């Protein structure tokens, strides 16, 4: 299993230092990848504070790619608010400039205002998603491409440079429908933060559909992480109710045996919390499920970003690397 980091390119802690300088240190710590989110109109909620800063994802990854040499650069996930040829050009250019260190996570999006601001309709989003996956693959693989879809059409398009190596496409979302889209359109599934019981249900479906389709699917998760040397310090101040409603997909989660999300234990899988030994035990559960990418989301502690990343790298990563 590879370990990545969700970069603070949004909110009050976004800065050149926390994005660019810190990413060089992240690589030195031994992490395998860095990841960014995507919005054009972003309204923070709950644990994200009130600062509306949101640095564009491709620009963020290009800046990080320029100061790193090894770590992979991923989107978790892009929403369908761009013309597909531009998406293809951006990813291919990023691959060209970074020696192919690119993973393309894409999603469906949910905010009508964002689609309208980009010149699209929310009701077209699945067509946009599907056609985007078709178009980027075609123009990455060959020249003189013509395409006719429900939303997009063009003739005789060639884009250079091509990606240095094949760019994997991963689909984001926590619903059973997202699993079906992942298998139908992409190479993997990245649900973000998701309780373990819901993850198990979705993994069962993913593997059945993948087997029927003759595909091998990559899987990534992005749990919230709160690590401290002292267990009580790590758990202190966490609002279980807020965490249980912190994702747009929460209404689709399976309830734990208690019938609701009342304790941190009920949120197993959604948050990894405790001292280093506690975190290793929780991460073992993802290893046992064959997860390929574990992305550390320190959003609850971005004010101590590098300190917490360093503690995780020193005490947890060696157990898995």
| pLDDT exceeds cutoff 90 at 248 | no
Taking residues 187-208, what's their average pLDDT? Answer: 97
Q: What is the pLDDT of residue 233?
A: 97
Tens-place pLDDT, residues 74-90: 999 999 999 999 999 99
pLDDT band for 95, please (50, 70, 90 cuts). very high
| Core vs surface per residue 96-118: b (16+ CB within 10 A) or e | ebbeebbbbbbbbbebeebbeeb
Tokens coding 244: 């249980």
Ordered structural domains, the chain, with CATH: 2-320 (3.20.20.30)
Give the Cα separation of 290 and 306 in Å (integer).
28
Judge if pTM exceeds 0.85: yes
Tens-place pLDDT, residues 285-318: 999 999 999 999 999 999 999 999 999 999 999 9
Q: Which residues, 6+ apart, have CB-to-CB distance to 28 below 8 Å? A: none
| pLDDT exceeds cutoff 90 at 259 | no
275 touches 225 (CB < 8 A): no
């Amino acid at each position: 299993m590879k370990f990545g980091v969700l970069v603070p390119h949004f909110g009050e802690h976004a800065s050149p230092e926390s994005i660019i300088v810190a990413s060089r240190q992240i690589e030195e710590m031994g992490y395998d990848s860095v990841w960014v989110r995507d919005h054009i109109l972003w309204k923070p909620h709950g644990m994200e504070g009130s600062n509306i800063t949101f640095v564009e994802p491709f620009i963020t990854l290009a800046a990080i790619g320029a100061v790193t040499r090894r770590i992979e650069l991923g989107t978790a996930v892009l929403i369908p608010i761009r013309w597909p040829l531009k998406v293809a050009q951006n990813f291919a250019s990023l691959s060209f400039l970074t020696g192919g260190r690119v993973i393309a996570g894409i999603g469906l999006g949910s905010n009508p205002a964002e689609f309208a601001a980009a010149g699209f309709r929310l009701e077209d989003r699945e067509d946009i998603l599907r056609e985007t996956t078709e178009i980027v693959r075609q123009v990455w693989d060959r020249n003189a491409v013509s395409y006719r879809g429900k939303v997009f059409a063009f003739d005789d398009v060639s884009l250079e440079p091509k990606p240095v190596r094949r760019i994997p496409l991963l689909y984001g979302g926590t619903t059973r429908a997202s699993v079906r889209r992942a298998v139908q359109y992409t190479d993997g599934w990245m649900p973000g933060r998701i309780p373990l019981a819901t993850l198990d249900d979705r993994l069962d479906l993913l593997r059945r559909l993948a087997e029927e389709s003759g595909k091998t699917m990559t899987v990534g998760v992005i749990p919230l992480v709160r690590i401290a040397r002292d267990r009580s310090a790590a758990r202190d101040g966490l609002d279980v109710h807020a965490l249980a409603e912190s994702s747009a997909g929460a209404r689709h989660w399976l309830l734990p045996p208690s019938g609701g999300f009342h304790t941190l234990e009920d949120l197993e899988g959604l948050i990894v919390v405790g001292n280093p030994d506690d975190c290793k035990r929780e991460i073992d559960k993802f290893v046992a499920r064959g997860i390929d990418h574990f992305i550390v989301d320190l959003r609850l502690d971005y004010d101590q970003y590098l300190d917490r990343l360093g503690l995780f790298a020193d005490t947890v990563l060696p157990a898995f690397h």
